Homo-oligomer: A and B are copies of this chain.
């Protein structure tokens, strides 16, 4: 039995994603584990935060769709099937924790910039993921 059966890789959709994906695919293959490819779309409201009431539903739907399309392209490129692709909306750390519990994942892979200080404490997904998951976490250093 392999030490990791089910691996979840959580990526953003920037040009840095392939670095994390590459590692995740290689590790999963080497360990014979199932790989789930996840992306968390942050709710538009978080970024907007304005005082004027606006209906952001349509914008959110567009973002979700764009994310699904992009993830699906990565899926094709890296050989991750549709059933193993997940797009959700929420706070990245919380969603990654929720997904990894729900899907009974035993290793989460995320990218890490290795920033120091406040920037990291307040913002980094790798950091947030490390603090709350019940499974192991592989932080892939982004170069």
Contacts and interface: CB of A to CB of B under 8 A. Distances in A.
A57 to B, nearest CB: 33
Instruction: Please indicate which of the listed interface residues A2, A114, A132 has the most CB atoms of chain B within 10 Å of its own CB.
Output: A114
A86 interface: no
Could you tell me the dominant secondary structure of chain A's interface residues? mixed
A138 interface: yes
A85 interface: no
A66 interface: no
Instruction: Please indicate which of the listed interface residues A27, A115, A131 has the most CB atoms of chain B within 10 Å of its own CB.
Output: A131
A5 interface: no
A139 B127 CA distance: 11
A63 interface: no
A136 interface: yes
Contacts of A115: 131
A60 interface: no
Contacts of A134: 114, 141
A134 B127 CA distance: 15
Interface of A: 2-3, 23, 26-27, 30-31, 112, 114-116, 120-121, 126-127, 130-141
